[in-house]
Amino acid sequence: MFPGATAARADADYAIVGAPLDVSTSFRPGTRFGPDRVRTFAQGFEDYDRKTGLHFSDLAVHDHGDVRAWPDVEEYLAFLQATIGDVRAVDAVPVTLGGEHTVTVAGVRAIEPDIVVSCDAHLDLRDEYDGEELSHACATRRALETAEEVVVLGARSGTAEEWERAEAADVTVVEPSDLPEWEPPTDRSLYMSVDIDVLDPAYAPGTGTPEPFGLDSRTLHDVVRRVAPHADGFDVVEVNDRDDGQAATVAAKLLRAFVYAHADGTD
């Protein structure tokens, strides 16, 4: 159980759903260990958040546990979508722990937001990767089949075709250097996804496809707090077991930051 997530499902305002999918990872696998690893490295945090004056254990957070993954990705995503949809049906905010970035597709399909805000080192705008349309490298492209628009924060890697696709009106790319001045749209429904590889590998080496020259953890923390009050759902993905807990620790802190800022209603 995620520390402090002690609310009963019927009483929850937030529900954590583990999604340990690890099928299409193309370089360093291990995202199947992500949800439990994040829970483990959250154990050392204080319950109190000074910025909001809130205690995490008072915010009616429920840990649903993991939706066990299996190799049929389309079938798994449909089941995960239904689980996240059940959370929304009782007016709770879904908070998904990946798992590879493909699980974001289920969250977007369940929430049906106007805009997806994705923090990611990679554009993930491929239509297919290794012959698969449901791949971690295609998460943003698949999200655009549901959402009207995506905003990719911190991207610094992609194919020539992906960068060309990113020039379309339904995609906005905000480079790392521009993030301090970026403000989220507040007049449309949002879903937020954080691929932990948006961070520089110095801060989060435990991820499948690390990409240098990324964000520092403080900047990402500020961005999550900025977006959270306007988001209907959240996920943090692509944490694996290839470090000493750095990536999982940051991911756990970002999850808590999202809940605090969303509950407080200000960034």
pLDDT, tens digit, for every residue of 243-265? 999 999 999 999 999 999 999 99
Summarised one tens digit per residue, pLDDT across range 135-146 is 999 999 999 999
Helix (H, G, I), strand (E, B) or coil at 208: coil
Which residues fall within 8 angstroms of residue 180, CB to CB, at 6 or more apart?
Answer: 219, 222
Summarised one tens digit per residue, pLDDT across range 71-87 is 999 999 999 999 999 99
Q: Is 93 exposed, middle or buried (0-12, 13-18, 19+ CB in 10 A)?
A: buried
Q: Quote the CA–CA distance of 112 and 243 in Å, as a whole number.
A: 34
pLDDT value for 17? 98
Q: What is the mean pLDDT of each run of 10 residues along the chain (267 residues)?
A: 96 98 93 98 97 98 97 97 97 97 98 98 96 96 98 98 98 95 94 98 98 97 97 98 98 98 87
Instruction: Return the CATH number of the domain spanning residue range 9-113+189-264.
Output: 3.40.800.10
User: What are the φ and ψ backbone dihedral angles of 115, each rounded to 5 degrees?
Assistant: -130, 140
CA distances from 129 to 89, 138, 202 (A): 33, 7, 27
pLDDT value for 26? 86
Per domain, the residue ranges of the chain are 9-113+189-264
60 and 11 in contact (C-beta within 8 Å)? Answer: yes
Torsion of CA 159, 71, 61, 255, to 10 degrees: -20
